[in-house]
Amino acid sequence: MAAPVNIIVGTHVWVEDPELAWIGGEVFKISGEDVHVQTTDGKTVVTNISKVFPKDTEAPPGGVDDMTKLSYLHEPGVLHNLAARYELNEIYTYTGNILIAINPFQRLPHLYDTHMMEQYKGAAFGELSPHVFAIAEVAYRAMINEGKSNSILVSGESGAGKTETTKMLMRYLAYLGGRSGVEGRTVEQQVLESNPVLEAFGNAKTVRNNNSSRFGKFVEIQFDKNGRISGAAVRTYLLERSRVCQISDPERNYHCFYLLCAAPPEVREKYKLENPKTFHYLNQSNCYALDGVDDAQEYLATRRAMDIVGISEEEQEAIFRVVAAILHLGNIEFAKGVDVDSSVLKDEKSRFHLNMTAELLRCDAKTLEDALIKRVMVTPEEIITRTLDPVAAVGSRDAFAKTIYSRLFDWLVDKINFSIGQDPNSKTLIGVLDIYGFESFKFNSFEQFCINFTNEKLQQHFNQHVFKMEQEEYTKEEINWSYIEFVDNQDVLDLIEKKPGGIIALLDEACMFPKSTHETFAQKLYQTFKNNKRFIKPKLSRTNFTISHYAGEVVYLADLFLDKNKDYVVAEHQDLLTASKCPFVAALFPPSPEESSKSSKFSSIGTRFKQQLQALMETLSSTEPHYIRCVKPNNVLKPAIFENANIIQQLRCGGVLEAIRISCAGYPTRRTFYEFLHRFGVLAPEVLDGNYDDKVACQMILDKMGLKGYQIGKAKVFLRAGQMAELDARRAEVLGNAARTIQRQIRTYIARKEFLAFRKAAIVLQSHWRGILACKLYEQLRREAAALKIQTNFRLYIARESYLTLRLSAITLQTGLRAMTARNEFRFRKQTKAAIIVQAYLRCHIAYSYYKSLQKAAIITQCGWRRRVARRELRKLKMAARETGALKEAKDKLEKRVEELTWRLQLEKRLRTDLEEEKAQEIAKLQDALHAMQMQVEEANARVIKEQEAAQKAIEEAPPIIKETPVIVQDTEKVDRLTAEVESLKASQLSERQVAEEARKACTDAEARNSALVKKLEDAERKVDQLQESVQRLEEKLSNSESEIQVLRQQALTISPTGKSTRHRPMFIPRTTENGNVINGETKITSDTTLAIANAREPESEEKPQKSLNEKQQENQDLLIKCISQNLGFFGGKPVAACVIYKCLLHWRSFEVERTSVFDRIIQTIASAVEVQDNNDVLVYWLSNSSTLLLLLQHTLKASGAASLTPQRRRTASASLFGRMSQGLRGSPQSATISFLNGRGLSRLEDLRQVEAKYPALLFKQQLTAFLEKIYGMIRDNLKKEISPLLGLCIQAPRTSRASLVKGRSQAKANAVAQQALIAHWQSIVKSLNSYLNIMKANYVPPFLVRKVFTQIFSFINVQLFNSLLLRRECCSFSNGEYVKAGLAELEQWCCEATQEYAGTAWDELKHIRQAVGFLVIHQKPKKTLNEITKELCPVLSIQQLYRISTMYWDDKYGTHTVSSEIISSMRVMMTEDSNNAVSSSFLLDDDSSIPFTVDDISKSMPQVEIADIEPPQLIRENSGFGFLLPRSE
């Protein structure tokens, strides 16, 4: 990229700037080798002439889509082009066949939709704007056409968007080669669904990216011979193992650790997990959570993704058990032991974490402790066991954790590959490489060394590919290219991987010597590579070394190279986990096939990584490569910020500037003959005037300019570096001379104009004088002409009288003669006609006789021929009859196939039945256990009460203590007797106290047993909850089985066309009135599953009258549900179903009861009715009914105090509103002893009384509101789905139509046909709108809701058309504006015909596209001022939107220009100010899919509903229980 030497005063150039990297300016002085430049920001810069580069002042303001089209292919030109396109949100740019993708850090939805995929499908490379889809299209077409595998290499630094780009590539390849959905999940779906699993275990937050992939990934997508995806495989490279044990602030460890710490409480309790701050492997950084990311939700999403990719429930449990074990393992700390260089566990906390680790890994705790702090050395004489010091024990612990995690990650990758499946018969594949980019941090370790080694390898492959493309271009144009130098980086690769003597080889050698340290390793490097120009020894460091990579110098810290390179598994660790009782853990560590006498076997990560990389390079070399370079525009991860220095560094790291250097080594500037002649034809006008061939003309111009070294190909001119600038300088000189010539001509024109004015005045004076003379001459000539005219008229009169007399005589004579001739002619014709009639009859008779004879002969001939043909057909039929045996055999084969499919279907049904029976048995067992525990608790309580009563009775029955009283002893015997009696009483008192003490102990024991039973009861309840979760998972698996059965049935239907498809499962679980049983007037509340079993066992103890009332009420409810499940139609413009439901609920007082099931059944009926989302008639019918019913409820229900205090029902499946709806309410049947409304009829809403609504009624209202919003959204989305493909056809005319329009007025007929075709698409949209409007009118949908639907639909049309207009330059043309304007007129006419009542303000929603189209079709845009554009023409559009339309506009009809450059500059300044003021810079519109109304809006906008005169349906009219529905007379 050497600067040209032909820089002169006035040349526009680029100069280096410390802040902006490069800045434009103009040379105003040249002093020898120094140039003085006035920059665009007003500064003066003096620099060497070799450090400035010419600037193309004629470059388009929006940049070019392929940077090989730049006039000056150098670093500042590339940077300016990328910045100009990034301002317009053009994030993709080509450099030849390399795609540069700049991360926009914002959503660009229309850039990746299906419509965009359709545009790029089959399009040639370069035909449309640069896009990631174009690269995938080229790779796919090359694979299909040439039968050779292709690869797409996506690279870039962390946060540049590599993963998202890879997802887009996968989506497009799936779009091109995906299979239909009847075969289950397709390969491409499984590959995409594996991303969440790999991201959870392989991604982490870094300084530059919140979701950085810490491993390389190569996805091989295999295709069959028809180009359909048939298999896939995921290869991973260099997982960053050290991150498991070491992280720096503010980074995070791998996501899975934080997800597990945010799991549900029961999971955390099972694994004894707490806050992430309590774990050593996580608390090394202060960052524990990510902005906008809920780890709890991500945990559930990861579990679902594991289910999808085929990881079983047991394997998932084992995986997270291993993850939890690693966390506990990190909290094991060591202290110095008694012996020298020995260690022991530090404290009881470490002992707890050791035991938890052993429990989770299912291994012995003592063995685990020995494996961490001891080593066994096997010698020929004896086996020596030595202990490790605390530092070595910590190293052993961390090595153990890293080994477990890496094995776990490898198992996940293998499992995903096994789940996806590979196609052994596939001959071609497309590989997508998502790999880390070049890294250079403040501190660089072994990981950065391996990453940069990878990028050096890929850069060599990239350079070879770019050089090959250059060669192909030169060969295609048939020019000489033999002397072009090739830039190679083989010397760096030799420095790293050469064997022996490379850095990796020396590192492996150092790792195998126990006494080697990082210092000895560094000294070995210094000695070995002291003369290598790519290796640099820092002056102030003894362990660091610097490698000069292609992207710059990187300083590496050799401190941890040896530790991180060792990949051996300690024998004690291997034996410990191989003997694990957990099959999953034991499978991660299979026994080594070779028994080694050493305690550990050395293995090198560097060597293994080099082998993996070599295999990858072999794979890439066998494929046709395509390159995508992802660029991160700024480090703050925000849109519309373009940091030049950061971009330049990434372009260097990505090899883009290296590719430019390769191009500059050859012919960096190449122009087609037309472009060259159009730009430089002014240098040789005589060449253009002559009738020369384009190639000869270009040759003559170049020869005239005296250029050497250029090449002329078949269709292009190839110029060496600097020659374009020289030609531009010559051109500027010629144009300057031409400008001076024009000035001279202008001055001549002004002088001549003055002369002509004087001459014109003289001529006017002469004209007046000559006019006077002409008047006099005219008077004389007029008199002579009058005399002559009188004479002429007199002579005319005499001649005419003579002529008329003669003419009358001739007419009389002619009349007589003609009458005589006519009579003769009449007689002759009469005779002739009679003769013709006679002849006709004669000839008819002759012809008829001949015809009859001929017919008879033909019939005889035909009979003979048909007899002959019939005999021939008979012989053929006899021969065909002999071939029926083959047909019968084919029929038998088909029957066997049908029987086989029938057997498989029955087998699936039987399996499903067995699964349901097993589930029911497990539920019954748990229910029995729960019931038994409850009985035990009751028995224990009864025993405690009995024992307490017995103790109390014993205490009461004990005789009272006799107090001694002093008496005078007279009789010694009596005293002795009394003394003995006192002693006996004391003994009995002591025995009673012992009995009471034993009773108290028994009571205490009973209470302890009672608490134990309560705990068991809680455990049983917890088990029930777990059982419910397992039941839900079984239901999900059952649904998967049903989908497989559906596939089998569809296959059976292909053979038996008479089969009928089964219905999908309903949205809600069927409910009956057995959700609660009334026992002795009390309602028992429990879970749905428990009730279903308990109710089957409980005796029917209800009283007969109550039972009959409940049965009657149940019959009424059943009849109501059966009735409303039919389409009841409308009566007087009001929905019958809504009115009937409301009147029944109000009459039964269902709103005022605490528990009822009728609401659940109504909701379930509505849910089953709207299950088919495509049936608009049903959806609109229920939209009308639900809105009317909600209006009635809004005016009737009011919340009561008791309802607000009702406890929430326990929810297990979902906390959302639809989750509550699916769970339903538990309650008892309603009481039938409800009074009527005292004969009072309901008339209007104001007559409805307010009802104190209980919790079920309020919940029913919420559910009905949710269903109303859901049905509204389904209708709106169906209409969007119907018109969406048509909008893609309406935004741009077909290419053939566009071409015919450009040709001019001669193609008027073609124009009319093309415009009629386009209007047909708009008319299809209008037809869809009319269809929906008519359906909603027929179902009496409230106009308020109709207006909301069409307002949102027109807003959707506005967003789709406007965004497509801004994203596609081919749409921003004059003729396309006329097309869209004509289509918008069709929509305006529809709005007028639909009237304000139904269309509302829908037309106003199109204001963006209307104003944009109006701007496209106005004339004389350069004369418009910025104020006129922003205030009058387009007041709604933002500056960003106006700027994009102005820069993308092109006139394909009249060739007019866009607005002036001053207005463009003003817009750019305003955009910069907006970005500084934190104003959103996104120019795209967002589609609003929210629900645009509330319940209050409905009640205020809908008219009153009179329900008194509603005629009930025939089904319930004759039932006595519904007599209150009949209209009553006053």
The burial of 145, by beta-carbon neighbours within 10 Å (0-12 exposed, 13-18 middle, 19 or more buried), is given as exposed
- pLDDT tens figures, 1328-1357: 999 999 999 899 899 989 999 999 999 999
Residue 1475: how many CB atoms within 10 A of its CB?
Answer: 16
Whether 660 shows a pLDDT value over 60: the answer reads yes
Q: What is the pLDDT of residue 594?
A: 53
Candidate list 149, 158, 489, 604, residue with the active-site label: 158
Q: What is the pLDDT of residue 318?
A: 93
Residue 1251: strand pairing partners: 1197
Q: What is the pLDDT of residue 88?
A: 76
**DSSP one-letter code for 1230:** P
Candidate list 75, 157, 439, 726, residue with the active-site label: 439
User: Rounded mean pLDDT of 1283-1290?
Assistant: 82
Q: Is 213 designated active site?
A: yes
Higher pLDDT pick, 908 / 1238: 908
pTM equals: 0.54
Residue 16 belongs to what H/E stretch? strand 12-17
Higher pLDDT pick, 912 / 1081: 912
Average pLDDT over all residues of the chain: 79
User: Rounded mean pLDDT of 558-572?
Assistant: 79
Strands (DSSP E) found in 161-264: 203-204, 212-213, 216-223, 229-237
Q: What is the pLDDT of residue 1041?
A: 61
- pLDDT tens figures, 791-832: 999 999 999 999 999 999 999 999 989 999 999 999 999 999
Q: What is the pLDDT of residue 328?
A: 94
- pLDDT tens figures, 504-531: 999 888 888 877 888 898 998 998 998 8
Q: What is the pLDDT of residue 602?
A: 60
- pLDDT tens figures, 468-480: 667 667 777 777 7
CB contact at 8 A, 1366 and 1445:
yes
pLDDT tier at 100, thresholds 50, 70, 90: very high
Whether 876 shows a pLDDT value over 80: the answer reads yes
Whether 487 shows a pLDDT value over 80: the answer reads no
Q: List the single range of 1157-1171, 1256-1270, 1503-1517 with lowest mean pLDDT.
A: 1503-1517
- pLDDT tens figures, 583-642: 999 988 887 665 443 434 566 788 888 888 888 888 888 888 898 989 989 888 788 888
Q: List the single range of 413-422, 847-856, 1302-1311 with lowest mean pLDDT.
A: 1302-1311
Whether 358 shows a pLDDT value over 90: the answer reads yes
**From CA 34, how far away is CA 44, in angstroms rounded?**
13
Candidate list 11, 97, 212, 1090, residue with the active-site label: 212
Q: What is the pLDDT of residue 180?
A: 41
Residue 413 belongs to what H/E stretch? helix 390-420
CB contact at 8 A, 151 and 458:
no
Q: Is 528 designated active site?
A: no
- pLDDT tens figures, 271-308: 999 899 999 999 999 999 988 889 999 999 999 989 88
Q: Which residues contact 1142 (CB under 8 A, 6 or more apart)?
A: 1189, 1192, 1193, 1196, 1507
Top mean pLDDT of 788-792, 993-997, 1233-1237, 1497-1501 is at: 788-792
**From CA 194, how far away is CA 417, in angstroms rounded?**
9
Q: What is the pLDDT of residue 1196?
A: 83
Whether 1469 shows a pLDDT value over 90: the answer reads no
**From CA 1011, how far away is CA 422, in angstroms rounded?**
58
- pLDDT tens figures, 158-174: 778 887 888 888 888 88
Higher pLDDT pick, 360 / 1233: 360
User: Rounded mean pLDDT of 913-932?
Assistant: 84
- C-alpha torsion angle, residues 896, 901, 906, 908 (rounded to 10): 150
Residue 1129: how many CB atoms within 10 A of its CB?
Answer: 12
- pLDDT tens figures, 418-441: 888 888 888 888 998 887 777 787
Q: What's 1187-1210 look like in SS3?
A: HHHHHHHHHHEEECHHHHHCCCCC
Q: What's 811-830 look like in SS3?
A: HHHHHHHHHHHHHHHHHHHH
In angstroms, the Cα distances linking 571 to 3, 334, 389, 566, 596 are 63, 21, 18, 14, 9
User: Rounded mean pLDDT of 37-51?
Assistant: 88
Q: Is 437 designated active site?
A: yes
Higher pLDDT pick, 253 / 1173: 253
Q: List the single range of 1004-1018, 1094-1108, 1462-1476 with lowest mean pLDDT.
A: 1094-1108
Q: What's 982-1020 look like in SS3?
A: HHHHHHHHHHHHHHHHHHHHHHHHHHHHHHHHHHHHHHH
Q: What is the pLDDT of residue 1079?
A: 36
Nearest CA to 1429 out of 1459, 1469, 1465 is that of 1459
Contacts 24+ apart (CB under 8 A), 706-711: 710/667, 711/474, 711/477, 711/479, 711/480, 711/667
Candidate list 165, 213, 343, 1481, residue with the active-site label: 213
Q: What is the pLDDT of residue 482?
A: 60
% of the chain surpassing 70 pLDDT = 83
**From CA 1122, how far away is CA 1110, in angstroms rounded?**
18
Q: Which residues contact 723 (CB under 8 A, 6 or more apart)?
A: 669, 707, 709, 710
Q: List the single range of 324-328, 981-985, 1137-1141, 1274-1278 with lowest mean pLDDT.
A: 981-985
Which residue is associated with the tokens 């629900």? 1491
Higher pLDDT pick, 1095 / 21: 21
Candidate list 209, 253, 1077, 1430, residue with the active-site label: 209
Q: What is the pLDDT of residue 146?
A: 85
- pLDDT tens figures, 1248-1278: 557 777 888 888 888 889 989 999 999 999 9
Q: What is the pLDDT of residue 1083?
A: 35
Q: List the single range of 299-313, 823-837, 937-951, 1192-1206 with lowest mean pLDDT.
A: 1192-1206
Q: What is the pLDDT of residue 1097?
A: 39
Whether 1297 shows a pLDDT value over 50: the answer reads no
Candidate list 24, 63, 77, 159, residue with the active-site label: 159
Higher pLDDT pick, 1082 / 477: 477
Q: What is the pLDDT of residue 1099?
A: 39
pLDDT tier at 949, thresholds 50, 70, 90: confident
Q: What is the pLDDT of residue 185?
A: 62
- pLDDT tens figures, 925-946: 888 888 888 888 888 788 878 8
Candidate list 93, 95, 155, 163, residue with the active-site label: 163
Q: What is the pLDDT of residue 981?
A: 79
Q: What is the pLDDT of residue 763?
A: 94
In angstroms, the Cα distances linking 8 to 26, 30, 704 are 10, 7, 21
pLDDT tier at 1365, thresholds 50, 70, 90: confident
% of the chain surpassing 90 pLDDT = 21
Spell out a b/e string for 179-190, using b for 16 or more CB atoms within 10 Å of the CB, else e.
beeeeebbbbbb
Higher pLDDT pick, 1416 / 979: 1416
Tokens of 1074: 């057995």
Q: Which residues contact 13 (CB under 8 A, 6 or more apart)?
A: 7, 24, 25, 26, 27, 35, 37, 52, 53, 54, 55
Q: Is 212 designated active site?
A: yes
Q: What is the pLDDT of residue 41?
A: 85
Q: What is the pLDDT of residue 338?
A: 81
Whether 398 shows a pLDDT value over 50: the answer reads yes
- pLDDT tens figures, 1409-1457: 999 999 888 888 888 888 888 888 899 998 888 888 887 787 777 767 7
Q: What is the pLDDT of residue 1231?
A: 34
Residue 298: strand pairing partners: none
Residue 433: strand pairing partners: 153, 218
- pLDDT tens figures, 180-206: 443 456 666 777 778 889 989 999 988
CB contact at 8 A, 705 and 713:
no
User: Rounded mean pLDDT of 39-48?
Assistant: 88
Candidate list 156, 231, 437, 654, residue with the active-site label: 437
Q: Is 440 designated active site?
A: no
CB contact at 8 A, 1457 and 1422:
yes
Q: Is 163 designated active site?
A: yes
- pLDDT tens figures, 1216-1231: 333 434 343 333 333 3
